[in-house]
Chains A and B, each alone.
Chain A
Amino acid sequence: MRIGVLGLQGDYLEHHQVLRRLGVETVDVRLPSHLEGVDGLIIPGGESTTIGALAERYGLMEPLRRMAEAGVPIWGTCAGMIFLARDVGRPQPTLGLMDVRVRRNAFGRQIDSFEVDLEIPALARVGDPRPFHAVFIRAPRIEAVGPDVEVLARLEDGTIVAAQQGHLLATAFHPELTDDTRFHRYFLEIVQQASRR
């Protein structure tokens, strides 16, 4: 299994490190040709405006959309989630693949960034349903989801912070900043299922 990590900007190295710890081969994706032979793709945290601008200038938008349409799983964390969304409420380049409405900087500025334990029942699929320690940094939230989107996690006040639409996965927080590998394993399960098909 080969997982690509979009390396235009952000904390892509942290994703590579978690994946390698899990024994998975990873590739840096900066140009369309780097997508060849990739079984799944992670879009890391960072600045969504920067990632979007670079993806547009270097011809990655259409290849990424085609890849998703062909069934290759994609997971976006934080900025990655924004980049996957259909609607972000302002003009900036996004892939528009996930039927969600996302609000950027939804919790405020950096001083409002926080850590919290989340209940994520879906993690039982990788054998361990204990709370997940989630890190939110100038994080977005999901304001509305379409009919094909499954909500995976909410904050105590009901705010949606993780969702899945078939082979597409989005988290408002950063599993790559913790030692907990369950979310990465959860994504790898989706990749495995997709490649069996």
Chain B
Amino acid sequence: MMNGEVQRAYGTVTVKRGLAQMLKGGVIMDVINAEQAQIAEEAGAVAVMALERVPADIRAHGGVARMADPEKILEIMEAVTIPVMAKCRIGHYMEAKILEALGVDFIDESEVLTPADEQYHVNKWEFKVPFVCGARDLGEALRRIAEGAAMIRSKGEAGTGNVVEAVRHARAIMGAIRRIQGMGEEELVAYAKEIGAPYELVLETRRLGRLPVVLFAAGGIATPADAALMMWLGMDGVFVGSGIFKSENPYKRARAIVEAVTYWQEPEILAMVSRNLGEPMYGIDVRQLTEAQRLALRGW
């Protein structure tokens, strides 16, 4: 771009974070085949997450959960015009490289899959494709951003149909952002150390009054009211995993959740779209899960 020379720059921070900005106010839906992907697109999803199993089935199935079969991901990429995301295991650099080579639009380095590295996450800066990562609090969110994540989502407790953990994580992140607004710079240094986050990112977050990247809710969202609740808590959009295709009427529920995210400030519309959706997915009380069954505790 020097001397008036026209040169395109690919994979920049602006285009990676920018795609996440385009997803705001939208719903990203887990799908396991082309048919579900088309239902999601028609219902108004802004993107789909291509999976072999939704989190509820990963939970039920047990064993090691890995990146989906590339054939499956390609089938879904061919079925829709909206962005397609796919999950790699935490710290699994090569799964991420494979997903990038497939041309997926976003990689979710996800605790829903079995972690591959118990110490380090993927260094996301060296990829052209953007990454989204889960976080339970501000420190975890900023560590992921320091590693190059272009988007953050709450972890929630995936596959439970129980929104309580997503609420906890959203409140933790938003509450911490509000608290640092009132801190002096000398307090911020100590606070950054306390939460294990880079000082510069804490400073930037304070200046912006929000995370430097888009923040979505994820984990346990099952109804339009759940989705609207997450928007009210300050999230930029929502992921819905098992909540749609594990319910009685996926298309109707998907559509209702899309509308709830746009019209979360209009209770009359929420009341209307929440009517007659059929049975939601069967939920799990998170307190009944053992530590080993808690996906949100994965990631460091």
Binding site for B on A (CB under 8 A): 7-14, 30-31, 45-47, 49-50, 53-54, 57, 78-79, 90, 104-105, 108-117, 131, 135-138, 156, 174, 177
Q: Are B46 and A137 in contact (CB under 8 A)?
A: no
Q: Are B263 and A49 in contact (CB under 8 A)?
A: no
Q: Are A54 and B258 in contact (CB under 8 A)?
A: yes
> How far does the alpha carbon of A1 sit from the alpha carbon of B83 in the complex, in Å?
36
Q: Are B26 and A115 in contact (CB under 8 A)?
A: no
In chain B, residues 132-176, which have Cβ atoms closer than 8 Å to a Cβ of chain A? none
Taking the closest CB of chain B, its distance from the CB of A196, in whole angstroms, is: 34
**B6: nearest residue on chain A (CB-CB)?**
A156
> How far does the alpha carbon of A11 sit from the alpha carbon of B1 in the complex, in Å?
26
Contacts of A113 in B (CB 8 A): 10-11, 15, 18-19
Contacts of B4 in A (CB 8 A): 131
A-B complex: 8 closest residue pairs judged by Cβ atoms: A110-B105, A114-B8, A113-B15, A9-B25, A53-B44, A47-B46, A11-B21, A156-B6
Contacts of A53 in B (CB 8 A): 42-44, 258
Binding site for A on B (CB under 8 A): 1, 4, 6-12, 14-15, 18-19, 21-26, 41-47, 81-83, 100, 103-106, 128-130, 258-259, 261-263, 266
Contacts of A7 in B (CB 8 A): 25, 262
Q: Are A115 and B25 in contact (CB under 8 A)?
A: no
Taking the closest CB of chain A, its distance from the CB of B87, in whole angstroms, is: 16
Task: Decide yes or no: A50 and B9 within 8 Å by CB, A104-B81, A109-B105, A138-B83 being known contacts.
Answer: no
Contacts of A12 in B (CB 8 A): 24-25
> How far does the alpha carbon of A37 sit from the alpha carbon of B34 in the complex, in Å?
44
> How far does the alpha carbon of A113 sit from the alpha carbon of B106 in the complex, in Å?
12
Q: Are B10 and A114 in contact (CB under 8 A)?
A: yes
> How far does the alpha carbon of A61 sit from the alpha carbon of B224 in the complex, in Å?
24
Q: Are B12 and A115 in contact (CB under 8 A)?
A: yes
Q: Are B15 and A45 in contact (CB under 8 A)?
A: no
**A156: nearest residue on chain B (CB-CB)?**
B6
Contacts of A11 in B (CB 8 A): 21-22, 24
> How far does the alpha carbon of A182 sit from the alpha carbon of B18 in the complex, in Å?
20
> How far does the alpha carbon of A27 sit from the alpha carbon of B45 in the complex, in Å?
25
Interface centre among A53, A79, A111, A115 (most CB of B within 10 A): A111
Contacts of B258 in A (CB 8 A): 50, 53-54
Q: Are A46 and B105 in contact (CB under 8 A)?
A: no
- Known A-B contacts: A45-B21, A137-B15. Give 18 more (CB < 8 A): A13-B24, A45-B22, A46-B24, A47-B83, A49-B44, A50-B44, A50-B82, A54-B44, A54-B258, A54-B259, A57-B259, A109-B104, A111-B128, A115-B9, A116-B8, A136-B15, A137-B22, A156-B6
Q: Are A49 and B12 in contact (CB under 8 A)?
A: no
> How far does the alpha carbon of A105 sit from the alpha carbon of B43 in the complex, in Å?
20
**A11: nearest residue on chain B (CB-CB)?**
B21
> How far does the alpha carbon of A104 sit from the alpha carbon of B81 in the complex, in Å?
8
> How far does the alpha carbon of A137 sit from the alpha carbon of B8 in the complex, in Å?
12
